[in-house]
Structure 1
């Protein structure tokens, strides 16, 4: 091979698709310089807006834990009766700051709970799955949804080239091309943590969990024609709707549920439970109610409280940990790194980012934007002989799992029913209504009509036929007879 990828210093790379882990399902290695360099470079491509999730809005509210979760987690935020201030930011994924709210896209759904044990962030979307399963591919995925370097225009061939060459995307793309891709408003969508997390109870027992946030306002779609009209007449429609609803006193509420998997079940479950492109069927692990939250306060200053809000899945609290999800492990590094680049070294000292219900006590000091500092006599090192804070592992209660394997670049272990298209097909056949299927076919036909490269057109048909053979046949028939509407006018992943 004469055309191979390299590091920024010119050394050949071993893989573009797999990060370095201890065995296929183990811990991501911090010394994977290719992964770290790729993510760190990606984090610095945009100044100062987010990359991605640039366009968004949000509000503050209160979460109340109404159910007894003590058997599963010791986290104070989820103990029955606990109330916590919280922040929720909605966003589009791929559009820039000025992009219309109503373009077809996944919606970012970032939650922060200001708990008595520190800030806890859940950074997810309005879908329970994602396009890829390894963080080393994330910059490539976003690049495929952005703009060509020369023309600075978006390109349908580019995004479908990536998707059809990455068949693990099929489940998420089915969501995006369906009714979930166009919501009536931010208030009318569900949210998901998407990843698998670990809960730990007071006895040290471990469980795997996935978060679901169900809108009491209902989940309602927006017709493509209306979305197109609003994109031109009111590009801030979602932002305006949320702000004005709260100002009117119509406070939106979501119920919080979790799916709970016993720790040992993960080893033999029919799907790899740490693969973010898959869901856990509710028949196997039903939803369990945790509580609810209500948004009841708009920001006093949008820039200070929403634009400077810096979420990260690394913001965990005792009783909650991460899992062997490769996307999640990469995000734990990538998100704080992106915020340090976007906002500054000490971004966590800003009012919206610092803990509101507890204090920060550590030995990190100085650097850009440092404006909180200890008493002049305080030592800034540990250990010391002057009564400074010390780490307490019992108080921390970190998540953990067994891992014993050679360092490899490999896909996650396939479980008995794992494949790329199966759950996407189930979503289409068993969840979509007949009306949803008709809209879905029309959207796909429009997307096909925007393609110009024959090989990508062929893979497009193969991709959707692999999701469902009946769908593929209908799509071929529509294309053959020229029954192709213009490509979804509001853009996909814009």
Structure 2
């Protein structure tokens, strides 16, 4: 038997919190001093050259965002300044787990990233076609993605690793249930919704802060494939979603989405029944209804796929005045990880590439680095402050201050109600899904879990079945029956 060794950093320092990020209070922001979080994410970002580690298979298009409703009482962001205002944008769709040459009808979440070219800078929303995610702390992300990639020995997809990880992390249940439903195989990109997923914040002209979630509702109607249909398409046309988007736009059948938001006040966040910044949970629409904002339209396919789609670089750190962060642990980790990945993948000057470049004037003192092709600041000063150029800090764009819940610094692995990983999946399965959707989901889970192999097979299956039964007796029984497992011990 292999000897067990304590986990350390790359320099040998023992790691005493492998999955929980150090924060200010249970719900506070992440601290930069958590050096192992940085090491783990930075190492993860450098595991592949030069393909994206996640979201490698994708497509993209240019378009516009049009404001249809006034939300200025929530945000002073210039993009929302008046009804009818149009802003150019670029959207990249993708599958998450597959390589660049994989099929885009795989059972997988879909990336839905939007870059708005606003007069105050580029604003990115880097989300998915699901409102939740598998994990709630960025420190877990490298391990989670390792299970979705290929086995280090066989170099094949490994259902055993996938279900071993999910069964050991019940916080993943909500997203796994969505993935195993027919929503896990959408009919291309045009017929699916999109979400910013994380909570962000809005700041208005009075410096009042609100928490916000972003939603894009397809105007083409939601359409999905059954597992059989999606599997057949993988062989017939592995680029189905790419081809569908290109053809639609070339035929001037421009796809559109209604852009909506949910708003939560700071006081509501403090008293909410669970952590509102938990990425594995939604904000119920009954409590926080969707508010109309505008419309997204895609109307132009790039002339060169590599130049614009492959070299497009998104990051949730790209914000504009009137829009801010939240204490969401996954979001806080992505603020570092995304720009770091882009600098590694396409270089320090990736924001000077046409698809990433702000089309309006930018002023800074960044200089040099690989592939600097934009004049490099010419003969201007490269330090601030200086006595020559008159550049200044615009005080009006300072973000408003707000109180954190605690000044206690610790690795908080559990918050109040954070162990309830079952209520929202239960509501999704028993109240939202139709009988047909329930049966498809059960069938898809059985098919996916049938791939579990090895000496731990039954242990992993039984552990995951316990989670399914806690979600719904009907779900657990259906999966157990499909896997030919005696359910007496689960009831």
Smaller-chain TM-score bracket: over 0.9
Aligned to 1:89, the other structure's residue is in SS state: strand
Q: Which residue of 2 aligns with 1:468?
A: 472
Q: Which runs of 5+ in 1 are unaligned?
A: 483-494
**Structure 1 residues 398, 157: closer, same or farther in 2, change over 3 A?**
farther
Aligned to 2:190, the other structure's residue is in SS state: helix
* TM-score, normalised via structure 2 length: 0.95
1:377 shift after superposition? 4.2
1:230 shift after superposition? 1.1
Q: Which residue of 2 aligns with 1:379?
A: 381
| C-alpha distance in 2 between matches for 1:126 and 1:412 | 27
1:134 shift after superposition? 0.2
Equivalent residue for 2:413, pick from 411, 414, 420: 411
1:412 shift after superposition? 5.5
Q: Tell me whether 1:160 sits opposite 2:152 in the alignment.
A: no
1:399 shift after superposition? 7.2
1:249 shift after superposition? 0.6
Contact 1:122 1:313 in 2 (8 A): yes
Q: Which residue of 2 aligns with 1:172?
A: 175
Q: Tell me whether 1:459 sits opposite 2:460 in the alignment.
A: no
Q: Which runs of 5+ in 2 are unaligned?
A: 487-491
1:454 shift after superposition? 1.7
Q: In the TM superposition, what whole-angstrom CA distance separates every residue of 1:228-255 from its partner, at most 9, and x where no partner exists?
A: 1110121100000000110011000000
**Structure 1 residues 422, 143: closer, same or farther in 2, change over 3 A?**
same
1:263 shift after superposition? 1.6
Q: Which residue of 1 aligns with 2:130?
A: 127
Q: In the TM superposition, what whole-angstrom CA distance separates every residue of 1:313-362 from its partner, at most 9, and x where no partner exists?
A: 00000000010000000000000000000000110010110102x21101
1:476 shift after superposition? 2.2
Q: Which residue of 1 aligns with 2:90?
A: 87
Q: Tell me whether 1:214 sits opposite 2:217 in the alignment.
A: yes
Q: After TM superposition, list the pairs within 5 Å mapping 1:76-475 onto structure 2.
A: 76-81=78-83, 82-356=85-359, 358-373=360-375, 376-397=378-399, 401-411=403-413, 413-415=415-417, 419-452=420-453, 453-475=457-479
Instruction: Judge which range, 204-213 or 456-465, deviates more.
Output: 456-465
- Matched residue count: 480
| C-alpha distance in 2 between matches for 1:162 and 1:398 | 40
Q: RMSD in angstroms over aligned alpha carbons?
A: 1.6
1:167 shift after superposition? 0.6
Contact 1:19 1:134 in 2 (8 A): yes
Aligned to 2:263, the other structure's residue is in SS state: strand
1:32 shift after superposition? 1.2
Q: In the TM superposition, what whole-angstrom CA distance separates every residue of 1:17-61 from its partner, at most 9, and x where no partner exists?
A: 101111221121112110001100110111111111100001010
Equivalent residue for 2:15, pick from 13, 23, 28: 13
| C-alpha distance in 2 between matches for 1:367 and 1:411 | 39
Contact 1:60 1:299 in 2 (8 A): yes
**Structure 1 residues 297, 13: closer, same or farther in 2, change over 3 A?**
same
| C-alpha distance in 1 between matches for 2:377 and 2:444 | 61
Q: In the TM superposition, what whole-angstrom CA distance separates every residue of 1:132-161 from its partner, at most 9, and x where no partner exists?
A: 000000000100110111111111110000
| C-alpha distance in 2 between matches for 1:129 and 1:304 | 31
| C-alpha distance in 2 between matches for 1:377 and 1:480 | 74
Aligned to 1:194, the other structure's residue is in SS state: coil
| C-alpha distance in 2 between matches for 1:2 and 1:442 | 38
Q: In the TM superposition, what whole-angstrom CA distance separates every residue of 1:83-113 from its partner, at most 9, and x where no partner exists?
A: 1000111100010011001110000110010
Instruction: Judge which range, 324-333 or 377-386, deviates more.
Output: 377-386
Contact 1:308 1:352 in 2 (8 A): yes
Q: Which residue of 1 aligns with 2:40?
A: 38
